[in-house]
Chain A
Amino acid sequence: MAYSSHRSYRRSVRQALDDDFLHAVLENFTKSYPASRSEAFSGKDIQSLVNEIAEIKKRSISKLDELFSQFKRKAEELGIIVQIAQTAEEACRIIEKIAEENDVKSIIKSKSMTSEEVHLNGYLESKGFEVIESDLGEWIIQLRHEGPSHMVMPAIHLSRTQVANLFSEVTAKAQNEDISTLVKVARKELRGKFINADMGITGANFAIAETGTIGLITNEGNARFVTTLPKVHVALIGLEKLVENIDDALKIIEVLPKNATGQKISSYVTWITGRSECTVSDTAKKKYHIVFLDNGRTVLAKDRIFSEILHCIRCGACANVCPVYGHIGGHKMGHIYIGPVGLVLTYFYHGLNNARFLADNCINCLACKEVCASGIDLPSLIKEVQIRIHETEGQPFLTKAAGKLLRNRKLFHRFLKIAKAGQKPFTSKDGFMRHLPLMLYRDHSFRSLPNLVSEPLRDRWGRIKPEIEDPVLKVGLFAGCLNDFVYPEQVESAVNLLADNNIETIFPEEQSCCGLPLMMMGDTKNTRMIAMQNVKAFEGGNYDFIITLCASCASFLRESYPGIVGLNENEITRVTGFSKKIVDFRSFVRANIKLSKKEKNNKVVTYHSPCHLARGLNIKMNPEDLITSAGYDFKKADHENSCCGFGGTYTLKFPEISEAQLNKKLNAIVSTGAEILVTECPGCIMQLRGGADRAKMKLQVLHLSEILNPANK
């Protein structure tokens, strides 16, 4: 469904957030998925397998035309009729024609997202054919006239009560809510449909060019019936399913079930080559048609940036770990394809109108990238789709204004000084703004906002910087906006800790915002400008390292700066030299400071892992050891490395989801009984501290630097 505005999309999102049953089922599922995935992959090197899948898909996508020709040749030798549909409509028409030619009245289908993509069922039904889905989840949603809410478990959003009511209607008999009974009802109802169907339609998980074979990875057994009983079989297959050889297919079989449902292998893998025996066919062999679907795939395959999206093997894992999906489900986070991959596919397969407001709904927590079976850089692709949409529609005013402001350092800092003065009526002594005028604040009031400090870091630096006589190391400090203008005390703790260890810290004044907010708003041009400003500020300082206390800045400066679009060769060299020196505070401390072991103080501390640390910089271990050696008791929280919900500009776009995620985190933290929450990103601190304050929790939210060097407080 195409939303008419961002507001109307948000209203729809609100519905999902208010659905208690959906919340419970998604919470349950997302909680158990990581462990079952881990268990399925036990004994295997996951990264290695992901790399292998990525290699297979990259190789296949690079020669799609060749593989198609090879497959077609092989398949036709074996009597299969192979066609290619350029568009969704063409695919529907081709299949309609096949049905007409074979006097088909009743069609039975096994699960195929590709058939959903082209709206096949609706088309065939409008032409008078009976179309029945046989996969349990698909049959359920077909009866309810709904789309799937997950790639692999289409009816996951429904309760057993809803299914029982549905089945009672369908069978005209009251049906009990017991799930195994409901499954038996479906088994009985559909058994007859398999037997009486004239044509079976399937998709395929892979199509092997070398042998003309298709593969179906299933659990229920319905695909086996669909490809056995009816006298005609049509397989509708996206071109990107083509692989070269049997070993490629075996690798997909090895990875897909593990990543999708935490199974070592699905109950059935069916390999179909050529026309199988069919006793009701006049030729004793089944009529077998394969329709490959293009619908923009060959163009995508040649796209330097987006060809990667064709590496998707449709496991659904990205949705399983996405915090946004976890709150609102597939009907709201998607169109036909759901979840993170759906945000990209919708743009290409279902057009701008359907993607326009959906594509914004990504918090950029990087969880999907971490779990993708093919290692697709989904967050970058989603960002790129957002940029394309804004290019078509023109940049939003906020982006243009922010761009102008942030790239002019002096102007930006003057603006903040004005804002600081303007905040006076709303600030309180303990550092929070709790009572902004309602009109500015209503949707965003789920957390208290911090004050801008009266003396930012850059203004107090001259006064507070420690003098070191014989420094063992000289580090440059990149502060970032929040540590400069809102939380300078975190930096003070850090710098004094370093000073105690004879490490000199320099704060180059010409530095500005790291540029991440601009990048997230799609303003590459100004991001580039601001990046070069920062690089210049640190050049010539001859620093051993450049440290920062902000995980978001650290990740952006270190991992993303060298790849910023539009840098010339000389700039790339300078940026690379800069980025190489960037190190996050914790890693720097671990490598260069010997911390003294402190006496136990019996205070319980728990930890939140910032997205940009855990996944941006791949620092997955929590600093439990540093926390306990500082004298605290450590208690690990559930969802420790799940996003805090801030997401920078995301919290402005979708405050209700930002709030839902914040509450999820705070609940997990409450369960630990900890009085202190430690993290390593001032953005996360702003979100979590603000939320704890609003909820009147007795929880201190501190930066790691403040735990390691509390003397500053």
Chain B
Amino acid sequence: MHGNLTEVFKEKAEEVSANVFIAGNNKDGINYIETILEKKKIRRIAVLDVDESYSRQLLDHGFELIDRPFRDKASEIEASVTSAFCGIAETGTLVMQSDSEDLRLATMLPDIHFSVIDARSIVERANDLTYQLKDWFRNGNYTSFITGPSRTADIERVLTLGAHGPVQLHIIIKL
């Protein structure tokens, strides 16, 4: 069942220009991130709210982790790694609990955003999350649905990725 949801999620996310990488384990995920960063010649990266093996390996391999708070470092953050609470297969959507200002900025500021989700967390439709959302909203909350990179078609209706948010969204699905 979940295998199928992962496939559907991947297909839908790729339809809207997200890059989806299926990782057998965290190490595979981190290697994927490093490959992309090398290609883009990015050495400094904001890492937040993911398994600590991510920051450990990145540091070990010579990448620099940007310190919090991120508010004053807007121009320095070219890439970020965060995780998402779950995915919605029907639309290839990430669901993030983003109360933390730094977490929000980490997903908004850089050109490249990596988001890690657990394959088992993927639900079929947004309606499957009604109770979870209600629970989150009870005491105040900032929840984000993210589907693909940021985009605009405001000039001559020509679709351009990367309006104010990330130009590239990479989703790492950990099996």
The answer on a CB contact under 8 Å between B153 and A274 is no
Q: Provide a sorted-by-A list of 14 A–B residue pairs whose CB atoms are within 8 angstroms.
A: A25-B157, A78-B140, A134-B164, A156-B156, A183-B155, A195-B71, A220-B163, A221-B165, A224-B164, A228-B101, A267-B149, A268-B165, A269-B145, A273-B143
Contacts of B157 in A (CB 8 A): 25, 28-29, 153, 156
Distance from A222 Cβ to chain B, minimum over Cβ atoms (Å): 4
- The stretch that binds B, out of A245-253, A527-535, A565-573, A617-625, is A245-253
Stretch at the interface among A275-283, A406-414, A501-509, A607-615: A275-283
Measured in the bound complex, the distance between the Cα atoms of B144 and A369 in whole Å is 33
- Say yes or no: is B152 at the interface (Cβ < 8 Å to chain A): yes
B12: interface (CB < 8 Å): yes
Interface-facing stretch out of B1-9, B39-47, B56-64, B131-139: B131-139
Q: A359 to B133: give the CA distance in the assembly, Å.
A: 43
CB distance from B72 to the nearest CB of A (A): 9
Q: A267-B151, A271-B141, A273-B141 are in contact. List 5 more A-B contacts (CB 8 A).
A: A79-B140, A153-B153, A264-B91, A270-B142, A272-B141
- A279→B71 CA distance, assembly (Å): 8
Q: Is B25 an interface residue (CB 8 A)?
A: no
* B165 and A270 contact, CB distance less than 8 A: no
Is residue B51 contacting chain A, with contact meaning CB distance below 8 A? no
Task: Judge whether B155 and A267 touch: CB under 8 Å.
Answer: no
Cβ of B136: which chain A residues have Cβ within 8 Å of it?
Answer: 273
A268→B163 CA distance, assembly (Å): 12
Cross-chain contact B127 with A267 (CB below 8 angstroms): no
B164: contacting residue among A154, A225, A274, CB under 8 A: A225
Interface contact A266-B127, CB-CB below 8 Å? no
Distance in angstroms from A82 CB to nearest chain B CB is 14
* A302 interface contact, C-beta 8 A: no
Q: How far is the CB of A279 from chain B (nearest CB, A)?
A: 5
Question: Would A271 and B143 count as touching, CB distance under 8 A?
Answer: yes
- Across the A-B interface, give the 10 residue pairs with the lowest CB-CB distance, nearest first: A221-B165, A274-B140, A137-B154, A220-B163, A269-B145, A221-B150, A221-B164, A211-B137, A271-B143, A136-B154
**A265 CB within 8 Å of chain B:** yes
CB distance from A287 to the nearest CB of B (A): 14
* Residues of chain A contacted by B108 (CB below 8 angstroms): 221, 224-225, 228
User: A78 vs B139: C-alpha distance in the bound complex, in angstroms?
Assistant: 7
Known: A267-B150, A271-B133. A187 touches B164 (CB 8 A): yes
Could you tell me if A182 and B164 are in contact, using CB atoms closer than 8 angstroms?
Answer: no
A278 to B101, CA, bound (A): 6
- Could you tell me if A279 and B151 are in contact, using CB atoms closer than 8 angstroms? no
Q: Which of B69, B145, B154 has the most CB of A within 10 A?
A: B154
Which B residues are in CB contact (< 8 Å) with A163?
155
Q: Is A135 an interface residue (CB 8 A)?
A: yes
Assess whether B35 is interfacial by the CB under 8 Å rule.
Answer: no
Query: For the complex, what is the distance from the CA of A11 to the CA of B133, rounded to whole Å?
Result: 53
Q: Which residue of A lies closest to B166 (CB)?
A: A221
Question: How many angstroms between the C-alpha atoms of A297 and B140 in the bound complex?
Answer: 28
Give the Cβ gap from A141 to chain B, nearest Cβ, in Å.
10
Question: Which residues of A pack against B, CB within 8 Å?
Answer: 25, 28-29, 78-79, 134-137, 140, 153-156, 158-160, 163, 179-180, 182-184, 186-187, 190-191, 194-195, 208, 210-213, 219-222, 224-225, 227-229, 246-247, 250, 253-254, 261, 263-280
Q: Which residues of A contact B71 (CB under 8 A)?
A: 195, 229, 279-280
Contacts of B156 in A (CB 8 A): 25, 156, 158-160, 179
- Assuming the A-B contacts A195-B74, A267-B149, A279-B71, are A228 and B105 also in contact, with contact meaning beta carbons closer than 8 angstroms in the complex? yes
CB distance from A211 to the nearest CB of B (A): 4
CB distance from A78 to the nearest CB of B (A): 5
Is the Cβ of A279 less than 8 Å from the Cβ of B101?
yes
Q: Please tell me if the beta carbons of A182 and B155 are within 8 angstroms of each other in the complex.
A: yes
Indicate whether A265 sits within 8 Å of B99 (C-beta atoms), given known contacts A211-B134, A221-B108, A221-B164. no
| Nearest CB of B to A695, in Å | 31
Q: When A179-B160, A267-B149 are in contact, do A246 and B12 touch as well, CB less than 8 Å?
A: no
What residues of chain A lie closer than 8 Å to B147, measured between beta carbons?
265-268
Contacts of B164 in A (CB 8 A): 134, 187, 190-191, 194, 220-222, 224-225
Chain B residues whose C-beta falls within 8 Å of the C-beta of A222 in the assembled complex: 163-164
Query: Considering only CB atoms, which chain B residue lies closest to A25 in the complex?
Result: B156
**Contact with B126, one of A140, A213, A254 (Cβ below 8 angstroms):** A254
Whether B143 and A267, one on each chain, are in contact in the complex, defined by CB atoms closer than 8 angstroms, is no
Q: Which of B47-99 contact A (CB under 8 A)?
A: 69, 71, 74-75, 91, 93, 99
Q: Interface residues of B, CB < 8 Å — how many?
A: 50
Chain A hits for B152, CB < 8 A: 136-137, 183, 219-220
Known contacts A191-B74, A276-B101: does B165 contact A267 (CB below 8 Å)? yes
Q: Chain B residue with minimal CB distance to A183?
A: B160
User: How distant is the Cα of A213 from the Cα of B138 in the complex, in angstroms?
Assistant: 10
Complex CA gap A592/B105 in Å reads: 68
Chain A residues within an 8 Å CB radius of B91 = 264-265
A277 touches B154 (CB 8 A): no
A182 CA to B153 CA, complexed, in Å: 12
Answer yes or no: B146 CB below 8 A from chain A CBs.
yes
In the complex, what residues of B have CB within 8 A of residue A136's CB? 152, 154-155, 163
User: Is the CB–CB distance between A250 and B127 below 8 Å?
Assistant: yes
Q: Nearest CB to that of B131 among chain A residues?
A: A246
Contact between A279 and B165, CB atoms less than 8 A apart: no
User: Complex: how many Å from CA A688 to CA B173?
Assistant: 58
Alpha-carbon distance between A179 and B160 when the two chains are bound, in angstroms: 8
Q: Are B137 and A271 in contact (CB under 8 A)?
A: yes
Interface residue from A158, A221, A228 paired with B163 (Cβ < 8 Å) = A221
How far apart are the CA atoms of A190 and B74 in the complex, in Å?
Answer: 12
The interface residues of chain A lying within 8 Å CB-to-CB of B139 are 78, 274
Are B134 and A246 touching (Cβ within 8 A)?
Answer: yes
How many angstroms between the C-alpha atoms of A582 and B174 in the bound complex?
63
Chain B residues with Cβ below 8 Å from A275 are: 140
Contact across chains for A180 and B160 when beta carbons are under 8 A apart? yes
Complex Cα–Cα for A191 and B147 (A): 21
Q: Say whether B104 faces chain A, with CB atoms less than 8 Å apart.
A: yes
Q: Determine the chain B residues whose CB is within 8 A of the CB of A160 once the complex forms.
A: 155-156, 158
- Which B residues are in CB contact (< 8 Å) with A277? 99-101
Set of chain B residues within 8 Å of A191, measured between Cβ atoms: 74-75, 164
The interface centre, meaning the residue of B104, B139, B155, B165 with most chain A CB atoms within 10 A of its CB, is: B155
CA distance A280 to B156 in the complex (A): 38
Residue in A154, A250, A265 whose Cβ sees the most chain B Cβ within 10 Å: A265
Whole-angstrom distance from the CB of B94 to the nearest CB of chain A?
Answer: 10
- On whether the beta carbons of A250 and B130 are closer than 8 Å, the reply is yes
> Looking at the complex, which one of B12, B140, B149, B151 makes contact with A273 (CB distance below 8 Å)?
B140
B29 part of interface (Cβ distance < 8 Å): no
Distance, CA A210 to CA B130, complexed state (A): 12
Question: How far apart are B70's CB and chain A's nearest CB, in angstroms?
Answer: 9
Which A residues are in CB contact (< 8 Å) with B142?
227, 270-273, 276
Contact of B154 among A140, A213, A221 (CB under 8 A): A140
Contact residues in B for A272 (Cβ distance below 8 Å): 141-142
Asked if residues B155 and A224 are in contact (CB atoms below 8 Å), the reply is no
